[in-house]
Chain A
Amino acid sequence: DQQVKQNSPSLSVQEGRISILNCDYTNSMFDYFLWYKKYPAEGPTFLISISSIKDKNEDGRFTVFLNKSAKHLSLHIVPSQPGDSAVYFCAASLGGGGADGLTFGKGTHLIIQP
């Protein structure tokens, strides 16, 4: 049973526009959420995280929103740039001791069109 779901395998966005990547989770015990970006032949790169006590966290062009009642989070990238083309993974954990490490979604391939 997949506890973290990214329902869009791919997303195409024009350069300069907003990219919105979505993620849903089923385990209500998750209390820490992260987004990673992955280029081919490289390991995932940490982008931004959010604790369940917040509903928004910003870092430059990246903003993560958390809706706990809907068990949904999203990553907004504004404005989108060609270098943002990559696979984006959503991850969740139990925070604290994080007994099961990070639980990842299967990723969304973001393609930024010039």
Chain B
Amino acid sequence: KAGVTQTPRYLIKTRGQQVTLSCSPISGHRSVSWYQQTPGQGLQFLFEYFSETQRNKGNFPGRFSGRQFSNSRSEMNVSTLELGDSALYLCASSPRGGGGYEQYFGPGTRLTVT
């Protein structure tokens, strides 16, 4: 089976812009979660989608949003980018919903905000 894919792999944006990141889960996985990784905070949970519904959300501002499509593919959007949003954004899929079980991660999108 193909693994989790994320596009683009690298992105450079300017403060104040918005960005959309894309994730395709492992075939058959209906749960998709997003995580932010920074050197200071480590890996932090953003949100989880299951069957097109956001089920869980981490402690991030409303500028961070997402959605999931009927084919389980997911997108994450960050509006009004700030310098502190520079991070590696990881998408993970799971055959089980809830976000608390084994997650299979993609390679991530490296976002740099200047």
Q: Give A contacts to B, CB under 8 Å.
A: 32, 34, 36, 41-46, 49, 89, 91, 93-107
Contacts and interface: CB of A to CB of B under 8 A. Distances in A.
Contacts of A103: 45
B45 A34 contact: no
Given A101-B45, A103-B45, 9 more contacts: A46-B104, A91-B43, A95-B98, A95-B101, A98-B56, A99-B98, A101-B48, A101-B56, A102-B33
Contact of A41 (B4, B48, B103, B107): B107
Contacts, number: 78
Contacts of B35: 101-102
Most interface-central of B33, B45, B108 (chain A CB within 10 A): B45
Interface of B: 4, 33, 35, 42-48, 55-56, 58, 90, 92, 98-108
Contacts of B92: 43
Nearest to B4: A43
B58 A101 contact: yes
Given A97-B56, A101-B35, A107-B42, A44 B90 contact: yes
A104 B35 CA distance: 10
Contact of A93 (B42, B55, B100): B100
